[in-house]
Amino acid sequence: MPYDVSPFFLSLKVAGISTFFVFITCLLLARFMAKKEFFGKSFVESLILLPLVLPPTVIGFGLIYLFGVNGPLGSLLEQWFGVRVVFTWGGAVIASFVVSVPLMYQSTLAAFEQVDPRWENVARTMGLSEWRIFRTITFPLAWPGIFAGLILSFARGIGEFGATLMIAGYIPGQTETVPLAIYFAYEAGQMGKAAFWVLIISSLGLAGISWLNYWRRKNSVRLGRE
């Protein structure tokens, strides 16, 4: 039986956009946290990783409080830009962003910490700027770990359910991502439709993880030969 495939493409769009912003945010955060020591650093890192241990409903509640019509950020966005986040696919992007940040941050921070600082110091003695050192030495060496974080963040964004349901709601054709389609198909007794989407998202996740493992092994072999 054919089904409306719009939830699949919406999930890809939401995960793709959120992963882009997660990449930029965590690249800056991880680079800063890897290089700087300051009072309260452990507390800041705890805040970054907090979504890992919070229930999705708590994250969703926090997002509604911030981005609701009467919320501090939601009211500003609507008054200044005429943008409403709640019950839109943009809300799904924000939910995916929040739950994906810890995964990307951990992978990126670990990747930066594994870069041998001697390479950077040698480049500094040659007069290279910090930006050029980062672009030509640090980032390429850290790329395997960063790339792994990107894959995990994208997969997490596609699979986000609880916080998305609270801030974006369930509006078929507008905010219906694959996880929401599965849940409401099951609630409606449409087991065939729910199974269809379970198979799609499971296959997508399995393919992504399998390809990541293959890429890691291939990259490890190449580095070993070098």
Work out the angle at residue 177's Cα, subtended by the Cα atoms of residues 173 and 183, and round it to the nearest 5 degrees. 105
Q: Would you call 173 exposed, middle or buried from its count of C-beta atoms within 10 A (0-12, 13-18, 19+)? A: exposed
Pick the CATH number of 6-176 from 3.40.1190.20, 2.170.190.11, 3.40.1690.10, 1.10.3720.10: 1.10.3720.10
Q: Residue 115: phi, psi to the nearest 5?
A: -75, 125
Interval 150-172: pLDDT, tens: 999 999 999 999 999 999 999 99
Looking at residue 51, the DSSP 8-state letter turns out to be: G
What pLDDT is stored for residue 83 in this prediction?
A: 86
pTM over 0.85, yes/no: yes
What pLDDT is stored for residue 46 in this prediction?
A: 93
The dihedral region occupied by 98, where left means phi > 0, alpha psi between -120 and 50, and beta the remainder, is alpha
What pLDDT is stored for residue 220 in this prediction?
A: 64
Interval 13-48: pLDDT, tens: 999 999 999 999 999 999 999 888 889 899 999 999
In the numeric block, which tokens belong to residue 78?
């609507």
What pLDDT is stored for residue 70 in this prediction?
A: 87
What pLDDT is stored for residue 13 in this prediction?
A: 96
In the chain, where the domains are located: 6-176
What pLDDT is stored for residue 224 in this prediction?
A: 52
* Below-50 pLDDT ranges, the chain: none
